[in-house]
Amino acid sequence: MGTITHRMQKALGVSKEALVGAYRTMYLSRRLDDKEIQLKRQNRLYFQINGVGHEAVNVATALHLRPGYDWFYPYYRDRALCLQLGLTPLEMLLQGVGAKDEPQSGGRQMPSHWSSKSLHIVSQSSPTGTQALQAVGAADASLYFSRLQEAAELASSFHADEAVYISVGDGATSEGEFWESLNGACARALPVFFVVEDNGYAISVPVDVQTAGGSISALVKDFPHLLALECDGTDFLEAYEAAGKAVEHVRQRRGPALLHAHVIRPYSHSLSDDERLYKSEETRQHEAKRDPLARWAGYLLSEHLATEQELKAIEASVEEEIREAADQALAAPPPSRESVLRFLYSPTVDPTSERFDHPPKFHGEPRTMVDLINACLRDEMARDPRIVVFGEDVADCSHEDELPKVKGKGGVFKVTHGLQRRFGSARCYNSQLAEASIVGRATGMATRGLKPVVEIQFFDYIWPALMQIRDEMTTLRWRSYNGWACPVVIRVP
């Protein structure tokens, strides 16, 4: 993880304009954090959590990705990434003050909960790591669209080489759902780009206490199909080179990639934390020497890619941009109380309406509930190629070469029997035995326009999926102010 020279910069094919532009985005991100901290201390902002120390790897990674083309599941320290993708300081500050016209959530989300339909930044909630399963679901959809042309034609957006970005901090890698997502992505060789931004602390818990051996990349390096890389995330060019290799691996459909980026957290976790309670002054001074903003400015000056006057001009323009954005945000009105119930449900589909009120027309002999549900699934799958069925044991036989030789399982209650045989393994398949994974991935698929019908095998098994149901799926439309939706059917016998 040494210093990369000007010669290496040329070898990477990075233009001078891009390098200087990267400094502007990094500086903009840093000063936005500082502005939010100032406003929070004045009680003019609801909360503040910063991305300081993460700026270099954020911008370096974003330069390899395409907003509105790839898909993004960032976490709260990804301010610089989101700025590079196209979110604006005004949008971020409007969210900070909870403004009515804030486009990410209509004033409903806490600051740094990024969302943009046009940029493909999917709305996140506050639990850490839960977005990882949804990212795998978004990549599941990419695989599905690549196999079914008729479904791809109905997708709002699909590209054969698209990537799905998901980032977490070092602490969130201890979440079970992170490991479920990694297992799922590797099992199907999905185009997921995992970025672990390791600043050494999950609030006060150091990474050597958090992670076995103190290194997430060492733990996952032998996962099948996974390209695991490690870099100094405070060195822009080193991070750029590593991210480029990871994205290329994903775009070429060789499987998922994981970039373990070592960054710093020179500010406290948030304004509700004081890192001096658990970090020594010596440790804090050591971190300050790795400040990515100072390192990058020094590089640009030493390699004569920018002058001090040019950097000062950039900084002055950033300060003015933030000042104007803050003035507009602080003047913006809050949401009305009457609007709180808007978008709890779909504004276009009312399941209690006459549209869904069709009295049954009986004919023939009485049939069992299992037979009728199976017939319903069969009819709907024939009608709509976006409907996909998965869960534990729902397929007839996972090994297709064995399928002609067996009767087929089709669920423990036979509800899905024959669906795989009729519609193919892309549309009816077995999942891992992981209920949160089933629901989280269904959510990610549904945000891409699919209509997943998933099965939790028995009601007793639903509890591991409750955080995905309660905190993610059911709140997505409301918390994004109708920006995102996830039309999923969960069957629970």
Spatial CA neighbour of 231 closest among 213, 250, 214, 244: 244
How far apart are alpha carbons 190 and 132 in whole angstroms?
A: 13
Amino acid in position 263 = V
Burial grade of 204 (CB within 10 A; 0-12, 13-18, 19 or more)? middle
Beta strand pairing status for 205-206 and 201-202?
A: antiparallel
Spatial CA neighbour of 130 closest among 74, 68, 204: 74
Q: What is the pLDDT of residue 2?
A: 45
How open is the CA angle 95-82-346, to the nearest 5 degrees?
A: 55
Beta strand pairing status for 71-73 and 164-169?
A: parallel
Spatial CA neighbour of 207 closest among 218, 195, 199: 199
How far apart are alpha carbons 105 and 94 in whole angstroms?
A: 10
Q: What is the pLDDT of residues 380-390, one digit of tens each?
A: 999 999 999 99
- How far is C-alpha 175 from the chain's CA centre? 15
Given a cut of 50, the residues of the chain with pLDDT beneath it are: 1-2
How far apart are alpha carbons 91 and 98 in whole angstroms?
A: 11
Measured CA to CA in angstroms, residue 454 lies from 17, 271, 394, 413, 488 at distances of 48, 41, 9, 14, 8
Beta strand pairing status for 71-73 and 205-206?
A: unpaired
Question: Contact 286/257 with Cβ under 8 angstroms?
Answer: no
Q: What is the pLDDT of residue 13?
A: 81
Record the tokens describing residue 404, joined without a space.
């002609």
Q: The domain 354-491 belongs to what CATH superfamily? A: Thiamin diphosphate (ThDP)-binding fold, Pyr/PP domains (3.40.50.970)
Domain boundaries, the chain: 6-335, 354-491
- How far is C-alpha 5 from the chain's CA centre? 33
pTM of the model: 0.96
Residue the block writes with tokens 């604006």: 88
Amino acid in position 406 = V
Q: Look up the CATH architecture of domain 6-335.
A: 3-Layer(aba) Sandwich (3.40)
Q: Does 354-491 match 6-335 at the fold level?
A: yes
Amino acid in position 165 = Y
Question: Contact 403/397 with Cβ under 8 angstroms?
Answer: yes
Measured CA to CA in angstroms, residue 129 lies from 194, 294, 390, 401, 476 at distances of 11, 30, 23, 37, 16
Q: What is the pLDDT of residue 361?
A: 83
Q: What is the pLDDT of residues 183-216, one digit of tens each?
A: 999 999 999 999 999 999 999 999 999 999 999 9
Instruction: Answer positive or negative: Cα dihedral of 116, 117, 122, 125.
Output: positive
Record the tokens describing residue 482, joined without a space.
């109708």
Question: Contact 195/259 with Cβ under 8 angstroms?
Answer: yes
What residue spans of 199-332 are helical by DSSP H?
207-210, 216-220, 236-251, 281-288, 292-302, 308-331
| Cα atoms in the Cβ-side hemisphere of radius 13 Å centred on 410 | 21
Measured CA to CA in angstroms, residue 242 lies from 22, 137, 304 at distances of 16, 25, 24
Q: Which residues contact 9 (CB under 8 A, 6 or more apart)?
A: 19, 237, 303
Q: In percent, how much of the chain has pLDDT > 90?
A: 92
The length of the chain, given as a count of residues? 493
Q: What is the pLDDT of residue 394?
A: 98
How far apart are alpha carbons 46 and 334 in whole angstroms?
A: 12
| Cα atoms in the Cβ-side hemisphere of radius 13 Å centred on 292 | 33
Phi, psi of 430 (to 5 degrees): -85, 140
| Cα atoms in the Cβ-side hemisphere of radius 13 Å centred on 169 | 24
